[in-house]
Structure 1
Amino acid sequence: MSKRGAAPTLRRVEVVVNVASGSVAPDAPAEVEKIFADFGINAHVCAPSTEDLTNCLRAAVDAGPELLVVLAGDGTVRAAAELCGPKGPMIAPLPGGTMNMLPHAIYGLRSWQDALTVALAEGEARMLGGGEVEGRQFLVAAILGSPALWGPAREAARYGKARLALMRAQRALRRAFTGRLRYSLDDGPRDKAVGLSFLCPLISRALDEEAPALEAAILDLQGLRDVVSLGFHALKGDWREAPAVHARPCRVARIWASEHIPAILDGEAVRLSSSATIGFRPDIVRVLSLPKALRES
C-alpha cells in the first residue's frame, strides 16, 4: 500500500554513489552533479570506498536532506531505507546495481541518468511498503531456507568464477532435501517446505502494487527432477519459476527450523534465528517515484 503526493521543493540533496557497484562508471559522481545543476540544485555527492559505504550513508541521512539519492544496488538501497525510515528523508533509488529490480519498478526500464532526470521533472512523493523480519526491512524480496544458498553460486557465475560457482552449487544441491522449514501463513495450518520467498507488492507480478500483502512462494521438492529444475532456475536468477514452487498472498508468516535459517534480503545474505516472523509493513520509506503511466512509457 502506498500514499502519493507532490514532490516537495528540494533545497538540500545528498547523493551516495557506489562506484564499485554493478553498473556505475567512474564519472558517475560528476554526471549526477551536472544533472542536478541543470535543475538549479546544488547536491552534495559522496562516492565512498566499499568499506566506507555504510558511514557515508549514515552521514548523508544525518545531514537531514529532503532527498537522498542512492546510485547503487538493491542491497545498498535497503540499507538506506532502514536508516531513513518512514519519517526521514525521501530516497531516490537509481539503477546502479546488477538486478536493479526496485529502481526499474519505480522508474521503469531507464538508465540511471534518464531516471533521475525524469524523476526530478515529474516525480512525486510516495510511501513505499515492504516486508520486515527480525527488525530488518526489505523492499524487493526475501528468500529463506536452502534456496538462499543458490545466491552465492549465482554471484560467482556472474563474475566468471566457474569453479567457485560449481562448489557453491554443489553445496546448495546437498542441502536441497535437508533442513526443511516449518511454516504457517496468516495463522493457517503448519506445513513443511524446503524454502520460501516473499516478494513485495511493487515487485510481484501476481499482486497489485497497492496490495497490503506480500507474495509468498513455497518450494516443495519431491525428487531429483525438482532439484535439477530448481538449480536451473536459480542460476538464471529466479527460482520461483521452477514447477515445484507455489505462490499465494500473505500478510504474516511464521517460520521455524532446527537451526539458524539462511536468508537473502534484497540480495544480501543474512542468517536468521531458528524461528522468525515475516510481515508486511505499509510504511517502510518515502521514495521519489514516477506515476504509473510514466513508468510504463
Structure 2
Amino acid sequence: MEVFVYQPTSDQLRLSDEPVRQLNVDTCVHAIGASAGVTSIPFAILVNRSAGSFRFFGLARLKAAMRRAGLGQEVPLVFCTGSELHDRALELVHRGVQTLGVLGGDGSARTVALALRGLDVPILPLPGGTLNRLCHRVHGHADLGRTLRGLASAKPVWLSGGLANEHVFLVASGFGPWMAFHTMRETIRRHGLWAGLGALKTLRHDLFAGKLRLSANSQACDIVIAAPGRVDEAFGLGAKEIDFPETRLETGQARLSGLGKLLWLAMAVLFRRWRKLSFTETQISERMSVSCGGDEIIGLVDGEKLQFGDHLVLRALPRAALVLSTKRS
C-alpha cells in the first residue's frame, strides 16, 4: 500500500506531478495531526488503482482536480487494490478520518460504504470507474473536479439500497444470461480485445430463452434489472430526480426474443425511450422474487458478478449507506 500526502503549493503548480512525500499510514496520520494541531483527519481519499479510468489517467487527473478545487489542506491519498479497500478504509477511520473519499467504480464505493456502515463516517464517491453510476446518483453527475469543488457545501445523506438475497447493492443489480457478458468485459480489461472475443464462447446458449420470471407478473423475460429509485440509473445515464429517502425498488424486465429487439432496446436506452417499448415492463415493490426455471441465476450486483442459485429474492434496504452528496437541494 502506498500513501501520499498531497498539498498544492505555488511551487507544485510549476513543477512535475511528483507527490510531495511518500509515507506509511502511521507516519502520514501523525504528520498531519502535528501540522494541523488536531488529533483527527478531516478528509482523506482512498484510491483503487485498478479502477477503470484511474488506470487510464493515473494520478495527474486527480491532482489537477484537487488543485483546481483549491484543496489547500494536506489530503492523504491512499492507494490500494480492490481487494484491499475494506481493510484500508477501516484502518483510516480508526486513525481518525472523518470523511473518506473513494476514487473508483461503483463496486469500490459500495465496498467502502458497507465497510463503514454503522460508524457514522460518510463516504464521498469520486468518479474513477467506467460508468460511475453511483456518482450520478449521489451527486447528479460524474465530474471529478465539480465534485471536489462542491466538497465544502456537501451534506451527509442516507442512501437507500437493495438486497439481492444477502448481497447489498446501491445502484442496480441485473440478472439473466446476459450478465455473462461481464466475463467478456473483464477479460478484455485484463488480457486484451482478442482474448475478450474468445470469451464469447463461454456464454450460455439460452440468451433469448425467456427463462426468467418475476413473482409480480410471472411473465417470461430474458433480463431483469432492479434499482433503488429508478432503473434509469442502472444504465449510467443519470436521472433528473434523485430521491434519497426512496425505500422501494423499481424493477425493469424485457423479453428480447431475438437480436433485433436487443439492438432496439439498446438504442431506446440511449435515447431514454425504453419504457415505451412493448416488450419492456416495470414494477415498483418493496420485495419480489425471481426464478429461472430451475437453472442457476447469474447476476451483477453493482458490477460484481455473482451466482444466486435457482431462486432470488429482491428487497428494498433503507439507510443502506451514509454518503456525502454535493447535489444541490
Q: TM-score when scaled to structure 1?
A: 0.76
1:145 to 173, 176, 187: 176
Instruction: Tell me, yes or no, if structure 1 residue 265 matches structure 2 residue 301.
Output: yes
- Does the CA contact (< 8 Å) of 1:18 and 1:53 recur in 2? yes
Per the alignment, residue 20 of structure 1 pairs with 50
Quick one: distance in 2 between partners of 1:150 and 1:160?
Answer: 15
The Cα offsets for residues 132-161 of structure 1, whole Å up to 9 and x where unpaired, read as 123221111100111212333355567894
CA contact (8 A) 2:229 2:250 kept: yes
Match of 2:222 among 162, 172, 194: 194
**Aligned match of 1:65:** 97
Query: Relative to structure 1, is the Cα distance of residues 27 and 228 closer, same or farther in structure 2, using a 3 angstrom cutoff?
Result: closer
Trace 1:171-250 onto structure 2 (pairs within 5 A).
Answer: 171-172=202-203, 174-178=205-209, 180-185=211-216, 189-201=217-229, 203=233, 205=239, 209=243, 210-227=245-262, 229=264, 243=277, 244-250=279-285
Give aligned-pair identity as a percent: 22
1:124-135 correspondence to structure 2 within 5 Å: 124-135=155-166
Q: Residues 123 and 208 from structure 1, CA distance in 2 versus in 1: closer, same or farther, beyond 3 angstroms?
A: closer
What is the CA–CA distance in structure 2 between the aligned matches of 1:252 and 1:206, rounded to whole Å? 25
Unaligned ranges ≥5, structure 2: 1-39
Q: Give the greater-gyration-radius structure (CA).
A: 2
| Offset, 1:103 | 1.1
Write the letter of the residue equivalent to 1:26. Answer: L
Contact 1:95/1:104 (CA < 8 Å) preserved in 2?
no
Cα distance change, pair 280–193 in 1 and its aligned pair in 2 (3 A): same
Q: Which structure ranks higher in relative contact order (CA pairs < 8 Å, sequence separation ≥ 6)?
A: 1
State the partner residue of 1:254. 289
Instruction: Report the AA paired with residue 133 of structure 1.
Output: A
Q: Is the 8 A contact 1:15 1:68 kept in 2?
A: yes
Note the residue ranges of structure 1 that are not aligned, 5 or more in a row.
1-9
The equivalences for 1:38-57 within 5 A come to 38=71, 40=73, 42-50=74-82, 52-57=84-89
Asked if 1 retains the 8 angstrom alpha-carbon contact of 2:215 and 2:289, the reply is: yes
Q: Shift of residue 266 of structure 1?
A: 1.2
Query: What does residue 5 of structure 1 align with?
Result: none
Residue equivalent to 1:6? none
Q: Name the residue aligned to 2:139.
A: 107
Q: Which letter does structure 1 place at the counterpart of 2:102?
A: V
Closer, same or farther: CA 35–283 of 1 in aligned 2, 3 Å:
farther
Q: Deviations over 1:74-119 (max 9, x none)?
A: 1111111211225531010011111111113322435323312212
> What value does the CA root-mean-square deviation take over the aligned residues?
3.6
Give the corresponding residue for 1:290: 326
Contact 1:183 1:253 (C-alpha < 8 Å) held by counterparts? yes
Deviation digits for residues 31-54 of structure 1, max 9, x if unmatched? Answer: 6876898354x4433112455344
Compared CA separation, residues 35 and 145, structure 1 to 2 (3 A): same
Matches of 1:251 and 1:76 in 2, distance apart?
A: 26
Q: Deviations over 1:224-276 (max 9, x none)?
A: 5335556x66998x9x6794332232221112231331111111111123222
CA distance in 1, matches of 2:319, 2:228: 12
Letter in 2 for 1:201: G
Is the CA contact (8 Å cut-off) linking 2:124 and 2:324 kept in structure 1? yes
